[in-house]
Amino acid sequence: MKQINLSSILKKKEARIKGFFKISSLVFIGLITIVLHKENVNGQSRVKLDEVIRTQLKKEGKASQFIKTSQGIMHVRVNGPDSGSVVLLVHGAVVGGYAFENWKKPLVDAGYKIIIPDLLGYGYSDRPKNNYTKEFYVQQLKELLDTLRIIKKVNVIGASQGGGFVLAFASAFPKRIKTVGLIAPNGGGDVRIVNKFLRAPIIGDFIFKNFGAKTMYNMISKSYKGNPAREGMLNWMKEQGKYKGYGEGVLNSIRHTLANRAITWQPEAMDIIGKYQIPAFAAWGNKDETVPYEHSAIFKNHIPQLQLFTLDGKDHAIAFGQAETILSAYIPFLNQSNFK
């Protein structure tokens, strides 16, 4: 009598079930794609950024200037006197350089030359196909300063994920840094990000490509409810969402800098800033649930000279929403190091 291999049968059934669900998922995604192709996601067709569009954006006064890097063309806002000390402002996920829109006038009025890029993947900058790793961001910040011929030391400040990029950049090039500024920064431990399902291959790619821009818009709309500058922010979110690759870029960055902890845990970078005694400033809301306020103690431990400015009762969305409050502490901090 032939012996029945129950284990083998179960494995075959399991493989068939997995295959069925995989095919069903692909069919479902295909059908949704057809519907979206006919109706256009968010009621608009997305277009690819190119030279013609960039020229028009500059003509309309929407864009400032564009520079070429080895990884793509970057949109950058440069304001203030050429003789002023340079402040490089690095945005985090979702918004792009517009996150620092409320910072421009106060810093320029204080005598600083400011540089605010749309990092690659955001705003009016290219959305390259390569992996958005920590090294990818460090390299583009270096090339940005090199292309603009910024030789003197710079004051650099980053918000949230941008704070993680600033840590990485400052630790890689400490001799180029005058001061380090951080706003609820990545680097001190795990942070809240989208779940594994939404980051998964195929599924995540589909969702972020087709629904990413709308989802980010809704998230920002909720975060800045009641803020007088909310309308300008939402107009910007619509604007950058018009161009192909925005949602995909956000997912790319999440996968290669946050999900793998590449920038969320950087004690060595903090140690370098501490070792070089680079003046450091951090602003943090003590009700932050995205990048927990408790991480500030880790930063203080590794960077003893860090000046911590706590925003009582505030959450994570402070770079734009609480700009005036943060600047009331940040500008005096800058002045101490730049106008001795």
Tell me: do 29 and 73 sit in the same domain. no
Tell me: do 121 and 31 sit in the same domain. no
pLDDT at 331 > cutoff 60: yes
pLDDT at 38 > cutoff 50: no
Give the tens place of pLDDT for each residue, 148-170: 999 999 999 999 999 999 999 99
pLDDT at 36 > cutoff 50: no
Tell me: do 154 and 259 sit in the same domain. yes
Structural domains counted in the chain: 2
Instruction: State how beta strands 65-69 and 280-285 pair.
Output: unpaired
Tell me: do 260 and 325 sit in the same domain. yes
Q: Tell me the mean pLDDT in the region 228-251.
A: 95
Q: How far apart are CA 64 and CA 62, in angstroms?
A: 7
Tell me: do 23 and 113 sit in the same domain. no
Residue 57 lies in a domain: no
Q: 8 or 191: whose pLDDT is higher?
A: 191
Residue 12 has a pLDDT of 57
Tell me: do 255 and 299 sit in the same domain. yes
Residue 56 lies in a domain: no
Give the tens place of pLDDT for each residue, 257-284: 999 999 999 999 999 999 999 999 999 9
Q: Tell me the mean pLDDT in the region 228-253.
A: 95
Residue 198 has a pLDDT of 86
Token representation of residue 109: 């009025």
Distances from the Cα of 61 to the Cα of 3, 54, 114, 127, 228, angstroms: 79, 11, 18, 21, 23
Residue 19 has a pLDDT of 52
Tell me: do 205 and 78 sit in the same domain. yes
Please give the mean pLDDT across all residues of the chain. Answer: 90
Residue 180 lies in a domain: yes
Please give the model's pTM, rounded to 2 decimal places: 0.87
Domain that holds residue 153: 65-338
Tell me: do 144 and 11 sit in the same domain. no
Q: Which amino acid type is present at position 298?
A: I
For the beta carbon of residue 18, count every other beta carbon within 10 angstroms.
10
- Output the domain CATH number for residue 98: 3.40.50.1820
Tell me: do 14 and 146 sit in the same domain. no
337 near 281, Cβ under 8 Å? no
Which of 24-33, 66-75, 216-225, 226-235 is most confident?
66-75
Q: Tell me the mean pLDDT in the region 323-334.
A: 98
Residue 277 has a pLDDT of 98
Give the tens place of pLDDT for each residue, 56-113: 999 999 999 999 999 999 999 999 999 999 999 999 999 999 999 999 999 999 999 9
Residue 314 has a pLDDT of 96
pLDDT at 17 > cutoff 90: no
- Confidence class of residue 195 from pLDDT cuts 50, 70 and 90? confident
